[in-house]
């Protein structure tokens, strides 16, 4: 945490200049009445200006007579950091006992930390104090990411990265939600961080780090209570649909362990943020907005995600172009994103994983277009299941098979990145591993995606494995 030392030491001064919270009426007699009187007059009644009233002096003296443990316990009950600062500014002794070295070794900062965040194991009292003060400053409502400097943005991202790592990995009680994640959610909403996908030129040195954090927070980018709909200018349609010049060689993976296309994945995330959240699109919006809350994207599994397990149930969407656009006007319409095109309606798709094994099954025809990658010793998980629409019966389902491989690199210093590849085909009977061939199916679509840390959302591209001109983006999240 050495990179934060220059910030936390100014904790009192920085918070004293942040916006105060709304006035609070304390319902505890005596102590809270005294605290309210002091905090309402504290900034104008410091020891230096000598304007303390006798009542304030008397109340302050009474508080200072309290044992340090009780005074700190009172401070932990205050609703905001601003209230703590106002109390600390009443006099030098109060500040020293609450914010100074004497208080830093007590339980005060740990209690404040646990009120807002999930507590990591093994933190010393000093580390907890530094981390709490750092977050209070850096995540202050005064921060404006649209006008901040390179250094300010970098530091803000580092704090969010630390919090996201905790939110994704710390164990939670059964049925509990991550307090740290809720703080991230509030910070993202307040700063409109996920509404800024086009800042590469301004933040040349950290744009990849910034995009990685945004990509990991895709679930919040698809939450209309947190992020507004995206715009058409937020992405390059040629990249999203992998037109000529943007399409990789057919024998190369889209999702490469050592060279993840963060920019291309962000283009895709922006595409879905627009089409799933914008009512004016009239495409995927109606289907997505009608989903129950429990069926919307989330950020982490109950017990975390280690990059080697796979949820059994997923839902999502894919988009396509039929045919490839011959004019700029046709490209702007995006075909499948128009309901007056070949789709009469947009259905939510579902994937159901029925079996998982380490016994390899990935036919040569699939390997040719979507090859396995990574170390020969990679422990791949192979699976079988079926694809359907959310409301359809099992009788209408299409067989599915594929594999999951943990990625060999942690992007953004976050664990849990995985590459998932699978094929969906139309067959009247089950898949026979020893004799499967694309010739036995009217169509076969191959899917390749990255599963972001948390294990609950995948983004990637699909390709028609019998007519490779058919391709496009897809998104699925686990339910």
Query: Which range among 12-16, 46-50, 294-298, 350-354 shows the weakest confidence by mean pLDDT?
Result: 12-16
CA distance 469 to 129: 57
Question: If we measure between CA atoms, which residue out of 351, 380, 416 comes closest to residue 216?
Answer: 416
Query: What pLDDT, in 10s, does the model give residues 367-394?
Result: 999 999 988 778 899 999 999 998 877 7
Assign residue 69 a region (left: φ > 0; alpha: ψ between -120 and 50; beta: otherwise). alpha
For the CA atoms of 348, 229, 235, 444, the dihedral, rounded to the nearest 10 degrees, stands at 0
Residue 157, C-beta contacts closer than 8 angstroms, at least 6 positions apart: 206, 209, 210, 213
Summary count for the chain: helices (H), strands (E): 19, 8
Quick one: pLDDT at residue 273?
A: 95
Which range of 103-112, 438-447, 450-459 scores highest in mean pLDDT? It is: 450-459
Which range of 23-32, 280-289, 388-397, 426-435 scores highest in mean pLDDT? It is: 280-289
Token pair 């914008």 in the structure block, residue: 278
User: Which pTM value belongs to this model?
Assistant: 0.81
Q: What are phi and psi of 449, to 5 degrees?
A: -150, 165
CB atoms within 10 A of CB 368: 12
Quick one: pLDDT at residue 383?
A: 96
Query: Which range among 11-20, 31-40, 348-357, 424-433 shows the weakest confidence by mean pLDDT?
Result: 11-20
CB 195, CB 239: distance < 8 Å: no
Residue 123, C-beta contacts closer than 8 angstroms, at least 6 positions apart: 131
Assign residue 142 a region (left: φ > 0; alpha: ψ between -120 and 50; beta: otherwise). alpha
Quick one: pLDDT at residue 385?
A: 94
CA distance 354 to 456: 18
Q: How confident is residue 98, by pLDDT bands cut at 50, 70 and 90?
A: confident
Q: Is the dihedral of CA 349, 355, 357, 361 positive or negative?
A: negative
| Residue 428, pLDDT above cutoff 80 | no
The domains found in the chain, sorted by start residue, are 2-138 (no CATH), 233-478 (2.40.128.120)
CA distance 450 to 422: 12
Query: Which range among 31-45, 80-94, 216-230, 436-450 shows the weakest confidence by mean pLDDT?
Result: 31-45
Query: What pLDDT, in 10s, does the model give residues 246-290?
Result: 666 667 888 999 889 999 999 999 999 999 999 988 789 999 999
CB 437, CB 365: distance < 8 Å: yes
CB atoms within 10 A of CB 96: 13
């Amino acid at each position: 945490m050495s990179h934060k030392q220059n910030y936390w030491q100014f904790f009192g001064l920085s918070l004293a200049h942040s916006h105060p919270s709304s006035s609070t009426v304390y319902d505890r007699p005596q102590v809270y009445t005294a605290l309210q009187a002091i905090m309402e007059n504290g900034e104008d009644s410091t020891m230096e200006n000598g304007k303390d009233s006798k009542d304030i002096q008397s109340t302050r003296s009474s508080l200072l007579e309290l044992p340090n443990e009780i005074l700190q316990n009172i401070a932990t009950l205050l609703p905001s950091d601003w209230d703590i600062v106002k109390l600390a500014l009443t006099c030098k002794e109060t500040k020293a006992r609450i914010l100074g070295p004497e208080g830093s070794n007590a339980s005060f900062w740990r209690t404040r930390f646990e009120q807002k965040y999930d507590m990591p194991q093994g933190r010393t009292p000093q580390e907890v104090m530094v981390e709490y003060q750092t977050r209070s400053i850096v995540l202050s409502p005064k921060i404006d990411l649209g006008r901040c400097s390179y250094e300010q943005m970098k530091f803000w991202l580092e704090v969010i990265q630390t919090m996201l790592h905790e939110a994704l990995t710390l164990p939670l009680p059964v049925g509990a939600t991550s307090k740290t994640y809720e703080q991230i959610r509030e910070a993202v909403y307040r700063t409109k961080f996920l509404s800024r996908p086009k800042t590469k030129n301004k933040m040349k040195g950290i744009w990849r780090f910034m995009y990685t954090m945004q990509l990991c927070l895709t679930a919040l980018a698809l939450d209309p209570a947190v992020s507004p709909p995206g715009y058409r200018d937020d992405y390059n349609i040629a990249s999203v649909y992998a037109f000529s010049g943007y399409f990789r060689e057919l024998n190369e993976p889209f999702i490469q362990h050592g060279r993840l296309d963060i920019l291309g994945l962000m283009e895709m995330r922006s595409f879905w943020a627009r089409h799933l959240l914008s009512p004016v699109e009239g495409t995927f919006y109606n289907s997505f907005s009608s989903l129950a809350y429990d069926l919307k994207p989330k950020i982490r599994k109950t017990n975390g995600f280690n990059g080697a397990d796979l949820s059994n149930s997923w839902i999502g969407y894919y988009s396509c172009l039929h045919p490839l656009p011959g004019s700029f006007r046709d490209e702007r319409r995006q075909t499948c994103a128009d309901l007056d095109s070949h789709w009469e309606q947009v259905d939510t798709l579902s994937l159901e994983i029925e079996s998982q094994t380490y016994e390899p099954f990935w036919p040569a025809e699939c390997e040719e277009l979507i090859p396995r990658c990574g170390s020969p010793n990679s422990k791949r998980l192979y699976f079988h299941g079926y694809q359907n629409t959310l409301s359809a019966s099992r009788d209408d389902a299409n067989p599915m098979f594929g594999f999951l491989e943990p990625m060999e690199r942690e992007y953004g210093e976050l664990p849990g990145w995985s590459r998932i590849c699978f094929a969906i085909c139309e067959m009247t009977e089950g898949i026979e591993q020893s004799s499967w061939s694309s010739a036995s199916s009217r169509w076969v679509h191959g899917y390749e995606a990255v599963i972001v840390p948390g294990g609950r959302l995948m983004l990637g591209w699909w390709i028609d494995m019998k007519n490779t001109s058919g391709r496009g983006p897809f998104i699925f999240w686990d339910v």
